[in-house]
Amino acid sequence: MSLYDKKYLSLVDDILENGYYDNNRTGMPTYKLPHQIMQFNLQKEFPILTTKFVAFKTAVKEMLWIYKDQSNDVTKLQAQNVHIWDEWVDDNNTIGRGYGYQIKKFNQIDKLIETLKTNPQDRRMLMTMWNIEDLPHMTLQPCCFMTMWDVTDGNLNCMLIQRSGDVPLGIPFNTSQYAVLVHLIAQVTGLKPGLFTHVINNAHIYENQIEGMKLQLTRANDEYIAPKLWINPEITNFYDFTPEDIKLEDYKYHPSIKMEVSV
**Active-site residue among 33, 77, 89, 143?**
143
Q: Is 144 a catalytic residue?
A: no
Q: Helices 170-189 and 3-18: crossing angle, nearest 10°?
A: 140
CA distance 78 to 86: 8
Spell 168-191 as b/e; 16+ CB within 10 A means b.
Answer: bbbbbbbbbbbbbbbbbbbbbbeb
Feature table: binding site = 25, 123-124, 163-166, 174, 204-206, 262
Residue closest to 93 by CA, chosen among 78, 106, 110, 112: 78
Cβ-contact 246, 60 below 8 angstroms: yes
The letter for the amino acid at 124 is R
CA distance 165 to 172: 10
Feature table: binding site for dUMP = 25, 123-124, 163-166, 174, 204-206
What is the set of active-site residues?
A: 143
